[in-house]
Every structure is written in structure tokens, then in C-alpha cells.
């Protein structure tokens, strides 16, 4: 796919600036550039995944996470920090000569060792039933769209200082106008248009926003 056309930045920032202004937030050029880079990175990751024919499920991801945790635990043990300090000291000295730091490596490995398994997103179906799974486990859905929207929701949260609202909420209309889709949803549509991706359903976006609110 072609790179994102930088001349289309304004299409992406119209809704962001409008909502930020109503929140009393003034975006300086450095922040705008940072948001643009984050959007480019999120779209780049999404487009790279979309070229892959395989669709990882929760089970697939958890299998890889379990393997990562085992390898990280083995490496922590091999460093000898806890039971063989002379080995750790040797490793640390030579890592420092190469601009590395063994204690930081140990700390990062411990984070990997304790990675949580993925529980998925609480998904509310049209019948009102709630289950926990990745939205992309449904083969009829874009297998990576939920990941992209989640990334965009995190970008929005970082800019606005709080998670986005649900799609049916106009966050600044007085009185509220629930028939209008919310500013975050409009922004998602503008971002996806950069890669010629059809607008997602309100149901998908709302489930991802709920998941973000429950976990931040």
C-alpha cells in the first residue's frame, strides 16, 4: 500500500482540534506532530498485519505469550542475579563495555516473565448477550480492526486526558443529541479513510471504548 499522504493531515485533525477546543485544550505544533506520527504508526502496524493471511485468536496469542514468559524466566535465571552474583557481575561488566546494562535487562525480562495472558474484549452482541473474546475472532470481521481502533482510542486518551466517549454520545451538545455519533467515532472514520477502510460499526467501537475504560 502507498504511504499516507501528509497533505491529508487536516482531515485527521478537524475533529481532534474541535473537541480539544471544547475541552479547553490547546494543541501546540509539537503535539500535533506527535499525534500524526502516532496515527501513522498505528496505521502502518494495521496495514502490515492485514497483509498477513493468518488471524491470531486469543488462544494463538496466549500460546506465544506463555512461550515468551518461559524464555524470559530462563534468561533471568541464567543471568545469575539472585544466586550467582559472580556470573551476573561478569555479564554486567561486559555489557557495560558494549553500552548495555545487565540490571535493566533483568528488569525488562522480569516484566516479560510476568506478562498477563490476553482475556479479550467484553463483547455485547445484538441480542444483548455479553461474552469475552477478541472481536477479530469472528471471521466476518476485519481481523485486525479492533487492534487499530484500540490504538486510536489510546492516542485520543493521551491527547484529551480521558478515554473517548461512546459513539452515540455528543459530548458537547446542549442538550445532548444522542442521534449524533460522537467525535471519537467521527475521528476514527477520518483516520480509516486514509487507508480506504470502511467505517466500523458503532457496536465494535463502543465495545473497544468500554474495554479501555475498564482497564485504565
Residue 123 lies in a domain: no
Give the pLDDT of residue 152: 92
Residues 50 and 145 both lie in one domain: yes
Give the pLDDT of residue 130: 47
Residue in this structure with the C-alpha cell 515468551, named with its chain if needed:
68
Residue 121 lies in a domain: no
Residues 49 and 142 both lie in one domain: yes
Residues 97 and 182 both lie in one domain: no
Residues 156 and 49 both lie in one domain: yes
Where does residue 126 rank: exposed (0-12), middle (13-18), buried (19+ CB within 10 A)? exposed
Residues 12 and 72 both lie in one domain: no
Secondary structure E strands in the chain: 121-124, 130-133
| Nearest to 155, CA basis, from 40, 11, 35, 43 | 35
Query: Over 60: is that where the pLDDT of 140 sits?
Result: no
Residues 96 and 154 both lie in one domain: no
Q: Between 159 and 181, whose confidence is greater?
A: 159
CB contact at 8 A, 212 and 150: yes
Give the pLDDT of residue 131: 46
| Nearest to 188, CA basis, from 148, 160, 157 | 148
Query: Over 90: is that where the pLDDT of 70 sits?
Result: yes
Query: Over 50: is that where the pLDDT of 135 sits?
Result: no
Cα distances (Å, whole numbers) of residue 188 to 35, 155, 185:
13, 11, 5
Number of domains in the chain: 2
Residues 96 and 199 both lie in one domain: no
Residue 78 lies in a domain: yes
Domain of residue 104: give its range.
59-113
Residue 128 lies in a domain: no
Residues 29 and 65 both lie in one domain: no
- Residues 141 and 195: their CA atoms lie apart, in Å, by 17
* Average pLDDT for 81-86: 86
What count of other Cβ atoms lies within 10 Å of the Cβ of residue 34?
A: 15
Residue 129 lies in a domain: no
Q: Which of helix, strand or coil describes residue 89? A: helix
Give the pLDDT of residue 2: 42
At residue 201 the predicted structure's pLDDT band, cuts being 50, 70 and 90, is: confident
Residue 89 lies in a domain: yes
- Residues 189 and 193: their CA atoms lie apart, in Å, by 6
Residues 52 and 69 both lie in one domain: no
At residue 194 the predicted structure's pLDDT band, cuts being 50, 70 and 90, is: confident
Give the pLDDT of residue 72: 93
For 21-57, what is each residue's pLDDT tens digit?
Answer: 888 888 888 888 888 888 888 888 887 765 554 555 6
Residues 149 and 78 both lie in one domain: no
Q: Between 56 and 172, whose confidence is greater?
A: 56
Residue 124 lies in a domain: no
Residues 78 and 172 both lie in one domain: no
Residues 35 and 64 both lie in one domain: no
Residue 93 lies in a domain: yes
- Residues 109 and 58: their CA atoms lie apart, in Å, by 23
Amino acid at each position: 500500500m502507498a504511504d499516507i499522504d501528509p497533505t491529508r493531515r487536516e482531515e485527521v485533525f478537524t475533529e481532534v482540534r474541535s473537541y480539544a477546543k471544547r475541552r479547553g485544550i490547546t494543541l501546540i505544533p509539537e503535539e500535533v506532530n506527535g499525534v500524526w506520527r502516532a496515527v501513522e504508526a498505528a496505521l502502518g502496524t494495521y496495514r502490515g498485519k492485514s497483509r498477513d493471511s493468518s488471524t491470531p485468536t486469543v488462544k494463538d496469542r496466549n500460546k506465544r505469550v506463555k512461550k515468551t514468559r518461559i524464555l524470559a524466566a530462563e534468561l533471568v535465571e541464567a543471568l545469575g542475579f539472585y544466586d550467582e552474583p559472580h556470573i551476573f557481575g561478569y555479564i554486567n561488566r561486559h555489557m557495560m563495555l558494549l553500552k548495555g546494562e545487565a540490571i535493566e535487562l533483568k528488569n525488562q525480562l522480569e516484566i516479560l516473565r510476568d506478562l498477563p495472558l490476553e482475556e479479550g474484549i467484553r463483547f455485547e452482541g445484538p441480542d444483548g448477550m455479553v461474552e469475552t473474546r477478541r472481536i477479530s475472532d469472528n471471521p466476518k470481521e476485519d481481523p485486525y480492526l479492533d487492534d487499530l481502533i484500540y490504538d486510536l482510542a489510546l492516542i485520543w486518551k493521551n491527547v484529551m486526558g480521558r478515554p473517548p466517549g461512546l459513539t452515540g454520545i455528543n459530548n458537547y451538545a446542549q442538550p445532548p443529541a444522542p442521534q449524533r455519533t460522537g467525535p471519537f467515532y467521527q475521528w476514527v472514520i477520518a483516520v480509516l479513510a486514509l487507508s480506504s477502510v470502511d467505517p466500523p460499526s458503532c457496536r465494535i467501537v463502543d465495545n473497544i471504548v468500554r474495554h479501555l475504560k475498564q482497564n485504565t
